[in-house]
Chains A and B, each alone.
Chain A
Amino acid sequence: MGWTRKDLLSIRELDAAEIVLLVETAASLQEIAGREIKKVPALRGKTIVNLFYENSTRTRTSFEIAGKWLSADVVNFSAGGSSAAKGESFIDTARNIAAMSPDVVVVRHASAGAAEILARTLPCSIVNAGDGAHEHPTQALLDLLTIKEHKGHFEGLSVAIVGDITHSRVARSNIHGMRKLGMTVTVAGPPTLIPPFVQELGVKVAYRLEDAIRDVDVIMMLRLQQERMSSGLIPSLREYSRYWGLTLDKLRAEARPDVLIMHPGPVNRGVELSPEVADGPYSVILDQVAKGVAVRMGVLLLLAGARGEAA
């Protein structure tokens, strides 16, 4: 049925029908990217604020493009060039931005729960664009759209998510989404990067890359956040790459010929993915980025296009 939420804070809070609605709305908006005039008037007169406290290329840019293609006015606020650098608190900054009456605030923050605090504080719609190690719902939605377009369905598919599961909000959002849609998920990585009790999310755990990628439909490689090395969670990049890097040889030996290779970016070439795999025929990494714009258009449209009913 229709969309009724004020905010998009997590995949965990959605039910399967809501996830499918978001994915299908995004799918039907993809056509706009191929037009000569990439603009539709749906959100004319609406204001969207991108409030980014963490670095981001793909996510911020694609929210900005998505808003502009829908004819909204998009304002970017990044912590570096703002009063946050002068010591203003998160809530104070947010209240100040809210005083300028935006319709949607897209927020990325290093602390889990930042988006939810804003949603409780501000009257406008909030989109979580990544909060700490908690969730990154629009990334999961674009991953799901990519899978849907390549595999045609969700139910019964199997996915391996490989890498730093503990610190990955992308993994967390995807696990919730994939489980709700009837997919089987295996997480894999060095034991130091697998959270305890992760099985309670309904996933299997593998401690060898080869075991994880055998016979799955989708392999999702996560970025190794290099600061993990200094914190002692992995011994060396070289060792990580040797055991957990996906190479053409490992792929040919273990994976299915029609497997999809996904990565949320940015890729550490030669660490989690060898260049031949990242640029190879199985890889849909750039397709994911293209779908990111459609997904963010869908989210903005459903949140900002429906305010009349709530009012």
Chain B
Amino acid sequence: MMTRPRLREKAQVLDDAALDRALTRIAHEILERNGGAKDLAFVGLRTRGVTLAHRLAAKIAAIDGAHLPVGTLDITLYRDDLDMRGAPVVRGTDIPFSIKNKAVVLVDDVLFTGRTIRAALDALIDLGRPLMIQLAILIDRGHRELPIRPDYVGKNLPTSRRESVAVRLREHDGEDRVVIEEPEEA
């Protein structure tokens, strides 16, 4: 097993109210950019992207009255670093609607190198031919290694590579909060 250094919290980036405001703004931007909710669908990346996708869908339901479908994407089988990560853990893709001719909003919590999104695009396109794919991200922390940019961003957060960004959500972690963590000095 790879041993990771212990992390300690360096700073809080978003509290629960700020996180909620960011999602509300993204929901409005999605509706504005697409001229309403027609033919839109959400696909969240496991695990926290799925939770954020459900929250965005709920926001859009509250604003517009439209109930958009939400799917779950597991990109394990599409990773370019499968060989370097030890035994893969596959938790399954579940998209119970056709993405054909839909504008799919891909949702993830943190955008970093862009490799996860590259894998997600491949995985999504294997499932059908969407009309377009847009990318919604809660935290964009920079350091891209691929030409990928998000369409909707909760917060741009310049970080150093040794730091990590933890998005904590009520459904998984009991609180809504985003923090920067850094390795404890040895």
Contacts and interface: CB of A to CB of B under 8 A. Distances in A.
Interface stretch (A39-47, A139-147, A166-174): A39-47
A271 B123 CA distance: 47
Given A2-B89, A39-B126, A305 B94 contact: no
Given A36-B128, A39-B126, A28 B86 contact: no
A14 to B, nearest CB: 14
Contacts of A309: 2, 84-87
Contacts of B88: 42, 301-302, 305-306
B71 to A, nearest CB: 11
Contacts of B127: 35-37
A219 to B, nearest CB: 29
Given A41-B77, A42-B78, A35 B87 contact: no
A19 to B, nearest CB: 15
21 contacts: A27-B92, A28-B90, A28-B93, A31-B92, A31-B94, A35-B127, A36-B128, A40-B78, A40-B123, A41-B77, A301-B88, A302-B87, A305-B82, A305-B83, A306-B86, A306-B88, A308-B82, A308-B83, A309-B84, A309-B85, A309-B87
A29 B92 CA distance: 6
A2 B88 CA distance: 8
Interface in B46-93: 74, 76-78, 82-93
Given A35-B127, A42-B77, A42-B78, A308 B86 contact: yes
Interface in B70-122: 74, 76-78, 82-94, 122
A202 to B, nearest CB: 29
6 cross-chain pairs, A with B, having the tightest CB-CB distances, nearest first: A28-B92, A3-B87, A308-B83, A306-B87, A40-B77, A42-B77
A269 interface: no
Given A40-B77, A41-B77, A42-B77, A301 B90 contact: yes
Interface residues of A, number: 24
Contacts of B83: 305, 307-308
Interface string A284-311: 0000000000000010011001111100
A264 B88 CA distance: 29
Nearest to A29: B90
B53 to A, nearest CB: 18
A61 interface: no
Interface in B1-56: 1-2
B76 A42 contact: yes
A195 to B, nearest CB: 35
A305 B84 contact: no
Contacts of B82: 42, 305, 308
A4 interface: yes
Contacts of A307: 83
